[in-house]
Amino acid sequence: MEKYNQLNPEIIAQIQTVSDHVLVGDDINVDYARDEMPIYGTHMPDLVVQPTSTEEVAAVMKICYENTIPVTPRGAGTGLAGGAVPLLGGVLMDTSKMNRILNYDMENFVVEIESGVLLNDLANDCLSKGMMYPPDPGEKFACVGGNVSTNAGGMRAVKYGATRDYVRAMTVVLPTGEITHLGATVSKTSSGYSLLNLMIGSEGTLGIITELTLKIIPAPKVVASLIIPFEDLNTALSTVPKIKMSGLNPQAIEFMEREIVLSSERYIGRSVFPQELEGQQIGAYLLVTLDAGSQDDLDTMLEQMAELVLDAGAMDVLVADTPAKIKDAWAARSSFLEAIMHETKLLDECDVVVPVNKIADYLDFVNKTGEDCGLIIKSFGHAGDGNLHIYQCSNDLEEEEFKSRVDKFFEIIYKEATNCGGLVSGEHGIGSGKIKYLVDSVGETNMALMEGIKRVFDPKMILNPGKVCYRL
């Protein structure tokens, strides 16, 4: 492990000369010590900077680099893998105040923003101009810079792709304090190594993203969602390849089991999903969204989708075709994590990704493994792209016993994911919590390559140490 220095009054004073947005001591909120998954530990930073410009970030980074002080970048702190936790204290760089939407270039279909803009704000602002920013991760109040740092996917990835597909260019502050610009407004490039794509998904280990140029598209004219109940999860999941082969090209195909829907509806205080039909209990659901250029086209698509899923074993099809109904249909889905946290004392999560045609068998394996390990398992996810959100829950175990069982569970299910062509994370990233399982999945050779890349960007290894590929 590298040797890092501690902040002292002299270094703090230097930082305060280049930034008016410094928090120390009791002014530092305890929320800065953790992200949304506290099982990965809490570590207070020694100092927090809340910059409002790229130049301010660069000035602070230069001081930290010269003095070998660890720096942890953070946006809204909504991560689920410990990626924004300051494991070694030091400086926490909170970019959430860099939250301006800077410019729209409608002729080139891009928007320029600062990295602290919230996804919800960007999405709504685009819609007000008749445009859409397609990436749609479940946490709408995450910073877009954080989405880029983990290459977040979300519900619409099945049709429109993940965050990576919408990043044209960015401004980055390197660990040395240098400012660099990666990418361009253009849509094609064969101009050397793609440093832009290397930065996307790097979880703040290679540089601090301060500005972004993002691709946007014309918003669909009409949208509708379908709640499709099934007797059991296997029947629901076996329908997904048929939907993908239908040519209907849905925005989203989400799956969810009965128990997690009940938890969510208890949490939001209203029922949207049917619980039984003609006396028969519903075991699982698909939530599918379609969009089109005209109402006639959408109506035809809805009829075709209904016929397809009913032939495949669906118990019914419920159409949400007004903004209010669509909002209600997705409210339960959007509240899954909060609902689980509300009802659970100890919690961990993985967002493993497997081939779409392996989802049903893999989830059978996961549920059996959870039972063997003495854990309560709750699952949902993106059926259209194989990205599964698998939660391990307990209200009875002591924390150390829970962690031990989860570790055993992860070792088994990640190995199975690798065996069937999957990967450790589809969108939440590795952070500090999943490094061990990434090593087992990709091997030491690839880990060494990643660490080598980090050392080129960050010779003193001060930026977000202990994350992704650099093991403390």
Tens digit of each residue's pLDDT (9 = 90 or more) over 188-234: 889 999 999 999 999 999 999 999 999 999 999 999 999 999 999 99
Q: What's the angle, vertex CA 130, arms to CA 113 and CA 387, rounded to 5?
A: 65
352 CB burial (10 A radius; 0-12, 13-18, 19+):
buried
Per-residue pLDDT at 272? 85
Identify the band that residue 133 occupies on the pLDDT scale cut at 50, 70 and 90: very high
153 CB burial (10 A radius; 0-12, 13-18, 19+):
buried
Residues 14 and 106: their CA atoms lie apart, in Å, by 42
Identify the band that residue 331 occupies on the pLDDT scale cut at 50, 70 and 90: confident
Identify the band that residue 1 occupies on the pLDDT scale cut at 50, 70 and 90: confident
Residues 58 and 75: their CA atoms lie apart, in Å, by 17
Residues 15 and 19: their CA atoms lie apart, in Å, by 6
10 CB burial (10 A radius; 0-12, 13-18, 19+):
exposed
Residues 337 and 154: their CA atoms lie apart, in Å, by 14
Assessment of whether the complete model's pTM goes beyond 0.85: yes
* Order of all β-strands in the sheet with 91-94: 22-24, 47-49, 91-94, 71-74
Per-residue pLDDT at 377? 95
Q: What's the length of the chain?
A: 472
Q: What is the chain's mean pLDDT, rounded?
A: 96
Give Rg (Cα) of the chain. Answer: 23
